[in-house]
Chain A
Amino acid sequence: MIETPEIEEGWVAHDLAAEFPELRILHTAVEARSGRSPEAVRRRLRNLADRYTGGKAVTLRQQPVPWAYRVFFRQVGIDPDERRTPPEEIALERMRAGGFPSRNLLDDAILIATVETSVPLVAFDDEKLEGPLGLRLSEPGERLGGDGRPLSSRQVVIADAERSVGVLFADLAEGRGVHPRTRRIRIASIQVKGVPDVSVEEALWIIAEVLQGDAGAGAAPAGNAP
């Protein structure tokens, strides 16, 4: 039985929302554990890899959603040709590796959802979060996760009610990510200007579906790959 994921909208601090009015964080919790991916997920990865061509990888930056993330990267001071956006990183990896090798269920689920929707996703151990997730700017002298590496001033961070839990599109705080004993995974997606609501919601739906064991739903039947 696949549960319908309840998608929640996170908070965005006023000063950040004033600069980027369309910036949103949406998240959902999934009762699932990572681990070795089942055959259905591996098959779906193979099907996705077959659909990915060099031409598609080259023109990715002209498609509306990947372009929107490239623009946002530029606007927040990241060079997307140096630190690539997640959909472009996946495309490049596909060209390098010649496929999408399976890593584990969570990474595979994130990859599938990102390839299908071009929306970047990040996963947390839900039990390690205090209160609702949101986006804000780092404060002077703040450290990632409270006791991690120092954050530079006014960095965009993902935070819970207590502390920062990750830098946007970068590293997570120590101990906030998903580990083998995690039983409840909190998946967050970032929406920027130009990305439709449906893409972000679909990304969360896909990842919930894959993690809960209905990975074959979006895959072509076995032996019928294009």
Chain B
Amino acid sequence: MAVIEQRPDLAVSARRVPIRPPVAPDEAAARRTLREQVAKLESELGALFCTAFPRTGFDWQVPSRGGPRVLSLVELEELRDQLADRLEHNRRVLGDRTYVEELNRRRIEEMVLEPERHKWMVIRNEDIGEPGCKSWHVRPRFGLLGMLLNWWRVRISSGCPLAGGRGGPPRPLPH
């Protein structure tokens, strides 16, 4: 004992540290925060979905986790991160798409103003992010003559064909 008192470094290591019982951290608050973040991200994804419609080619799915069940903290974090990644990716895709659509809109205006400079060019509704089958097509007026004389115009299609076609054969008249 006397030796320990003379060497202060040993005195520290020999001191007894009370052992505390293990305490499980309360994850409830963290899970609650994560669930709120998931709700916010879902809201933003929903708004983006409506903005992106009717454009196709987006992936909205985030893998399920075998629910309905109470997700652990790690699972909620993964879900939050995947939703955030999906949102960011789709925002970028939509941004790129709308940039091209804007260029196409401008090109339609140019086609209408100077059709002879955009010969045979076709721009469809889907190229400008709109639903339907409308298209702008630069074609020569009066066919071959227009091509020879450089008479060009923009022809706008009349929309989608009817779902039912032109109808069946006429019914026989009742006798």
Interface residues of A (CB under 8 A from B): 15-16, 18-19, 58-59, 61-62, 67, 70-71, 73-79, 81-83, 137, 152-156, 167-170
Contacts and interface: CB of A to CB of B under 8 A. Distances in A.
Nearest to A157: B68
A16 B38 contact: no
Given A61-B49, A67-B46, A156-B69, A77 B38 contact: no
Contacts of B47: 62
B79 to A, nearest CB: 7
Nearest to B32: A19
Per DSSP, chain A at the interface is: mixed
10 contacts: A62-B50, A70-B42, A70-B46, A71-B43, A74-B42, A74-B62, A76-B71, A82-B64, A156-B70, A168-B68
B65 interface: yes
B53 A76 contact: no
B28, B35, B65, most chain A CB atoms within 10 A: B35
Contact of A71 (B42, B49, B70): B42
B60 interface: yes
Contacts of A79: 61-64
Given A18-B28, A70-B42, A71-B39, A77 B67 contact: yes
A70 to B, nearest CB: 6
Contacts of B114: none
Instruction: Classify chain B's interface size.
Output: 20 to 34
A76 B46 contact: no
A75 B46 contact: no
Interface in B59-89: 60-71, 75-76, 79, 83
Given A61-B50, A62-B50, A76 B68 contact: yes
Contacts of A155: 67-69
A170 B68 contact: yes
A78 B61 CA distance: 11
B141 interface: no
Contacts of B28: 18-19
B91 interface: no
Contacts of A169: 68
B134 interface: no
A95 B170 CA distance: 30
Given A16-B70, A154-B70, 17 more contacts: A18-B28, A59-B50, A61-B46, A67-B46, A70-B42, A74-B39, A75-B39, A76-B70, A79-B61, A79-B63, A81-B62, A82-B64, A152-B66, A152-B69, A153-B69, A154-B69, A155-B67
B67 A78 contact: yes
Contacts of A75: 35, 38-39, 71, 76
CB-CB nearest 4 A-B residue pairs:
A77-B67, A77-B65, A79-B64, A76-B68
Given A75-B38, A76-B70, A77-B71, A67 B43 contact: yes
B33 to A, nearest CB: 12
B38, B43, B67, B70, most chain A CB atoms within 10 A: B67
Nearest to A62: B46
